[in-house]
Structure 1
């Protein structure tokens, strides 16, 4: 007999399923409880509020997406240089972005909410700290402070492009266009 999943995990997974198929404004506490097979009151018990549950689910979903990206980069560029891994990551993010648009839209909403909600801000900040290290590891940028900073910049690049594409798919910069744009930026960056 396998161990039973916790009610908390059921709520997170149910929330992620809701985010995949519903616009964020239709993801209510009742919809999440129904999708999760959990009691409505368990949302408050485990998370304090629906917004905190959604934020935690977004972080879990983003962690899973990054793990998926890492696996695909490993498959596309096994033993590759950081440049090859970055190039593979561009392609992988492009391939997987549309599968995670609901998650990304809710992430954008959580970013806006964080400006007015300390608990949401704290959850997101912790997620960003962990993700910077994970991005640095996936791209093999190093485990030192400079590697973590580089991971943060790469994350900002991918998040920023993701947010722009959510606003208008015509704003998406993908594939070789990213490489050319980065080469142009590299030409104006100070050295040292």
Structure 2
């Protein structure tokens, strides 16, 4: 493994164990076994290394999510709605990888002052919208890219909100059943001329 890969792996460990604000250059070099000069050579700064590590960790989680979605589609619980079954699997994956999302939120708050990070995160979000839409809609469905993106955008919005709520208060964060029920009620509301939800 080269110095760059060692630094990325070390930075990911530091982010998950220490957090963005408390990770120092010394921490990264100690955990990675890489030398101090290699941070500047490969990344330019500690912040740039941490940002890259966070994006890579998030990408790794997205790959896990893709497998979860594929498995969910193959082994869906017939007693649950497709939406409910999917989010039950997603929430399970979120809880298993909690440190990734703590890190992601912590690093994301730096985007306001780091234009390069903001651009990278914006690009990652757009890729997530498109990928989620393509994962959730079978390739056989003749839906346009704009529709697939809309589906992906909706699920990414739910995902982002769930991450924050489960990190703060997992016991009272929305359950898959509640999300599924709400979706049905909102769809019903959308069809009613008087604009009232009836539970």
- TM-score, normalised on structure 2? 0.80
3-state SS in 2 of match to 1:24: coil
When structure 1 is superposed on structure 2, of 136-145 and 67-76 the one drifting more is 136-145
Distance 1:169-1:46 versus aligned 2 partners, 3 A rule: same
Aligned to 2:97, the other structure's residue is in SS state helix
- The Cα of 1:95 is off from its aligned counterpart by 1.1
- Residue 187 of structure 1, CA deviation: 3.0
- Residue among 129, 133, 143 paired with 1:136: 133
User: 1:135-160, CA deviations, whole angstroms, 9 ceiling, x for partnerless residues?
Assistant: 11221275612211221221111011
Closer, same or farther: CA 99–29 of 1 in aligned 2, 3 Å: farther
Correspondence for 1:187:
188
Deviation at 1:23, TM superposition (A): 3.5
Deviations, residues 41-89 of structure 1 (Å, cap 9, x unaligned): 2222222222222222222111111111111221232297xx73x4443
5+ residue gaps, structure 2, are 193-199
Name 1:177's counterpart in structure 2. 178
Q: Is the 8 A contact 1:55 1:124 kept in 2?
A: no
Query: Is the 1:7–1:38 contact (alpha carbons within 8 Å) kept by the matching residues of 2?
Result: yes
User: For residues 143 and 44 of structure 1, do their structure 2 counterparts lie closer, same or farther at Cα, with a shift above 3 Å needed?
Assistant: farther
Larger Rg belongs to: 2
Q: Give the Cα–Cα distance (whole angstroms) in 2 for the partners of residues 60 and 87 of structure 1.
A: 28
Deviation (angstroms), 1:118: 0.3
TM-superposed deviation, 1:179: 0.9
Equivalent of residue 12 in structure 2, options 13, 16, 20: 16
Aligned partner of 2:64 among 57, 61, 68: 68
Evaluate the alpha carbon distance shift between residue 35 and residue 115 of structure 1 in structure 2; reply closer, same or farther with a 3 A threshold.
same
Structural mapping, 1:20-99, within 5 Å: 20-78=16-74, 84=82, 86-99=83-96
d(CA) in 1 for partners of 2:25, 2:128: 27
* Offset at residue 104 of structure 1 (A): 0.9
Q: Distance in 2 between matches of 1:106 and 1:180?
A: 31
Q: Do 2:39 and 2:46's aligned partners in 1 also have CA atoms closer than 8 Å?
A: yes
Looking at structure 2, the residues matched to 67 and 143 of structure 1 have their Cα atoms a distance apart, in angstroms, of 24
The 2-side partners of 1:151 and 1:95 are apart by 19
CA pair 185-13 structure 1, distance change in 2 beyond 3 A: farther
